[in-house]
Amino acid sequence: MEIYFTDRGAIEDLANYGISAPQVALDLFNGLYIPDGMPFLLGDDGSYPESINSWLRSLPSHGCTERGSWRGYGYDVLGFANFIVQTGRGIDPILATLDDVVAYRDKRRNGSPPEVTATTMNRCLAALQKLFGWRKAHLGIDDPFHYRIVAGNPRNGRKAGKRNSLLERTGGSDAVRFISLEEFQLFRDVGLRGCKPSPTPADPTRLVRDADFVCRHGERNGLIADGLLNSGARVTEFLAVLLSEVPLDPKLFVLPGSSAIRLAAAATKTKLARDIRIPNSALRRIDHYSVYARSASIKAALERGAYEGNRRLVLISPAGNGACQVARTGARERYDTMNVERRRSLMLWDHSGAAGPAVLFLTADGAPMTGDALRVIFARACQRCASFGIHLNVSPHVLRHSFAVIMLRLLSERWLRANGDPRRYRDAQGEDALRVAFNHPLLVVRDLLGHTSVESTFKYLTYITDTFTTFEAEFPKLAPFIETSADYARSAARTRGMLEGA
């Protein structure tokens, strides 16, 4: 089997040439409400596995709204489906049994070395668990997995409930990858910006510009890396930021500190709006990029006619107050209601014609930068670092983890200095409880990362205790308090926001 992804725009382009089959497909997509980017599987003979594809189409209605998640589920199920086909049993993968799943797990985990890590295998099993749950609900075939009851643990954020017996314990060893600030600077300057080590006795960490480095967009790549590390944003969220949403006020460039960029709820994974912080010194570099490199990419694309005839683009003109006017319909649309795909389709338009995409970061071809393209850039940067003996494994998401670990460590040190022994807050009431709840490091980092639950943030505790023994000793005493204060802090924050907006 192979995996494919729906692309409504490509089908529309073919339909314009009078090809009937794509128009039939487009009518099918409209009838089933299949969004762009939805994966589907096809057999080697062109057959269409209806059950698996129906499950994939159901993901958005079950709370899975991100294209990256659809993609992950699609590839996880693809690997299992191909394994079933290769066994030669001649059964539909949707009818697989527990023995089939165990055999697949053993094949991928018991090799020497294993094909995948325990975390990756657990993620695949979670995808199959969802697939078989759908099978039971829609086809009446029992879930083949066996489950055991597990107790909750407030210290590591684990909820009480049932657990798939095939899942492996990972011990957190491969759950989170992160880098230090020193490693990040090497990765950015050597891998992305094109410097090379040139140590001297006086300065063993000295870097100089590599004359042999060829990349017209090293500064753009460095800006994106800086933004991801400074904000902790997911790559899809950060790349969906519009140029008009960045405060490029020259008065800010010379001020210390940072400025806020609002991530719209519709453009975030958890559908929760939040602010990310960008250093004011970086705003000057973003302004320089937008005036020169970004404008050059757009000019070259306009000269090639890259934007002409693309029906997926939505021509807009700024309408002020965080809104735009759609040229085709004249409707006024607010930016904060637009999801990632809508934002990527926006094309600014003025009296002289097209003025380029509305998103901030563009590729060399003048198209919106994508997460896949950025991952390729980061992989090549890691290879370049390795050529100088700097061995790093950095992806865009690693920078989000790095932000979380560094920020949690810094905030934890400050919190303990300010509040002392956490045990005296376990029974705190009134103002004391409110102050501790609002300022506790885990809750702050949860909000900065856009997590819906503090339990998702607990995993980062493992990576700060090695260098912060005080926090390791004191934090468990406060864990029962956090479990009860998290919801209170969230509701108090909403109340405070309502009062401020009144």
Q: What is the CATH number of the domain that holds 282?
A: 1.10.443
> How far, in Å, CA of 96 to CA of 75, rounded?
17
Tell me how far apart the alpha carbons of residues 345 and 359 are, in angstroms, rounded to a whole number.
Answer: 9
Q: At 446, list the tokens.
A: 């949860």
Q: Which residue type, as a one-letter code, is found at position 247?
A: P
Q: Is residue 391 part of a domain?
A: no
Tell me which of 466 and 369 has the higher pLDDT: 369
Q: Which of 364, 362, 359, 467 is nearest to 408 (CA)?
A: 467
Q: Say what percent of the chain tops pLDDT 70.
A: 79
Cα distances (angstroms) measured from residue 208 to each of 191, 196, 198, 218, 364: 13, 6, 6, 15, 25
What's the whole-number mean pLDDT along residues 464-484? 45
pLDDT at 334 over 90: yes
With vertex at residue 304, the alpha carbon angle to CA 302 and CA 308, rounded to the nearest 5 degrees, is 65
pLDDT for res 468:
45
245's CB contacts (< 8 A; 6+ apart) are 261, 262, 335, 360
Per-residue pLDDT of 403-455, as tens digits, reads 999 998 888 877 777 766 555 555 555 555 555 555 678 888 998 999 888 87
Place of tokens 């990576």: 463
- Checking phi first, is residue 194 left (phi over 0); if not, alpha (psi -120 to 50) or beta? left
Residues 280/256, Cβ–Cβ less than 8 Å: yes
Q: 402 and 371: one domain? A: no
Please tell me the predicted confidence (pLDDT) of residue 308.
81
Distance of CA 498 to the CA centre of its chain: 29
Judgement on whether residues 159 and 186 belong to the same structural domain of the protein? no
Mean pLDDT computed over 126-136? 92
pTM of the predicted structure, to 2 decimals: 0.76
The residue from 384, 419, 435 where one domain ends is 384
Average pLDDT value for residue range 354-372:
90
> Do 254 and 310 belong to one domain?
yes
Q: How many CA atoms lie within 13 A of 293 on its CB side?
A: 18
**Do residues 330 and 257 both lie within one domain?**
yes
Claim to verify: residue 363 and residue 440 sit in the same structural domain: no
Question: What's the pLDDT tens digit per position in 154-170?
Answer: 555 566 678 888 888 76
Answer whether residue 174 is part of any domain. Answer: no
Lowest-pLDDT choice from 30-39, 45-54, 486-495:
486-495
Domain assignment of residue 393, yes or no? no
Any domain includes 170: no
Distance (Å, whole) CA 499 – CA 185? 42
Q: Of 384, 411, 434, which residue is a domain's last?
A: 384
Same domain membership, residue 493 and residue 355:
no
Instruction: Give the DSSP H/E element, type plus range, for residue 478.
Output: helix 469-501
DSSP per residue over 124-136, as a string? HHHHHHHHHHHHH
Q: What is the DSSP letter of 363?
A: -
Please state, in angstroms and rounded to a whole number, the distance separating the CA atoms of residues 315 and 326: 6
Amino acid letter, residue 196: K
Residues 23 and 127 in one domain: yes
Residue 365 sits in the same domain as residue 434:
no
State how far Cα 249 lies from the chain centre: 28
Give the DSSP per-residue string, 151-218: --BTTTTBPSEEEETTPPP-TTTTT-----HHHHHHIIIIIIS-EEE---SS-TT-EEE-TT---TTH
Neighbours of 271 (CB within 10 A): 14
Q: For residue range 278-301, what is the model confidence (pLDDT) as tens digits?
A: 999 899 999 999 999 999 999 999
On average, the pLDDT of the chain sits at 81
Residues ≥6 apart with Cβ < 8 Å to 297: 362, 363, 364, 365, 366
Residues 158 and 70 in one domain: yes
Give the tens place of pLDDT for each residue, 183-237. 999 999 999 999 999 888 888 888 999 888 888 899 999 999 999 999 999 999 9
Give the chain's count of helices (H) and strands (E). Answer: 18, 13
Mean pLDDT of 485-500: 40
Looking at the structure, do residues 153 and 192 belong to the same domain, yes or no? no
How many domains, in total, are found in the chain? 3
Task: Identify whether 392 is part of a domain.
Answer: no
Q: Are 490 and 203 in contact (CB under 8 A)?
A: no
**Res 175: pLDDT:** 62
488 pLDDT above the threshold of 70: no
471 and 496 together in one domain: yes
Domain hosting 360: range is: 181-384
- What's the pLDDT score for residue 477? 43
Residue 400 has a pLDDT of 95
For residue 479, pLDDT over 70 is answered with no
Q: 463 lies in a domain?
A: yes
**172 in a domain, yes or no?**
no
Q: Which of 355, 384, 413 is the last residue of a domain?
A: 384
Q: Give alpha helix (H) positions in 45-155.
A: 50-58, 67-86, 98-109, 118-139
Average pLDDT over residues 349-367: 84
Q: Residue 274 in 3-state DSSP?
A: strand
- What gap in Å lies between CA 450 and CA 392, rounded to an integer? 27
For residue 73, pLDDT over 70 is answered with: yes
* 332 found inside a domain: yes
Give the tens place of pLDDT for each residue, 231-274. 999 999 999 999 999 999 999 988 888 899 999 999 998 888 99
CA distances from 493 to 262, 419, 497 (A): 17, 21, 6
pLDDT at residue 436, as a whole number: 57
Give the model confidence (pLDDT) of 80-104 as tens digits: 999 998 888 778 889 999 999 999 9
Dihedral over Cα of 10, 12, 18, 19: its sign: positive
When mean pLDDT is compared over 5-14, 175-184, 426-435, the highest value belongs to 175-184
Whether 363 and 437 map to the same domain: the answer is no
Reduced to 3 states (helix: H, G, I; strand: E, B; else coil), residue 227 is: helix
- pLDDT of 141 over the 70 cut: yes
